[in-house]
Amino acid sequence: MNDPQPWTPPEGSWASSAARRRNMQAIRSRDTKPERLVRRLVHANGLRYRVAARPLPDLRRSADMVFRPTKVAVFIDGCYWHGCPIHYVSPKTNPGYWSEKVARNIARDRDTDKQLEAAGWLVLRFWEHTPAEETAAAIIRQVADRRKPSL
């Protein structure tokens, strides 16, 4: 009888090993520490918002914070998953797959921005490494500006 071989992913698979797959699946897509810090500061300033909500019902993408009355969608992008020009480093294992994945994420982000802006939304994107106080201040300022009646 043949000895069973350890599982190896097929060529071009999304993970280099079962352990790596479990690790990558465990990474949060929402309620990350940077998101929670920013939300706490924005909420403390009296603003209310939806968390992980779709700004447009027909667009199968959700923003981290959605201010519906003022049509402001906020995204706090992770440096690795969204290709931060400062912090993104291509992985050593299966670099082709991961680099392509990040490139697809960036393209999807640009498409999301374009679709939301075409529908009259203001899209605010921040990197996870931006200080929470700076991010929150920018969000508060932009939402307040959109609330002002135009003369």
Domains of the chain, start order: 31-147 (3.40.960.10)
Q: Where does the pLDDT of residue 24 fall: very low under 50, low under 70, confident under 90, or very high at 90 and above? A: low
pLDDT digits (tens, 9 = 90+) for 117-145: 999 999 999 999 999 999 999 999 999 99
Q: Where are the beta strands (DSSP E) in the chain?
A: 50-53, 63-67, 72-77, 122-127
Question: Which percentage of the chain shows pLDDT scores above 70?
Answer: 81
pLDDT digits (tens, 9 = 90+) for 62-89: 999 999 999 999 999 999 889 999 998 8
Does 115 or 150 have the greater pLDDT score?
Answer: 115
Three-state secondary-structure class, residue 73: strand
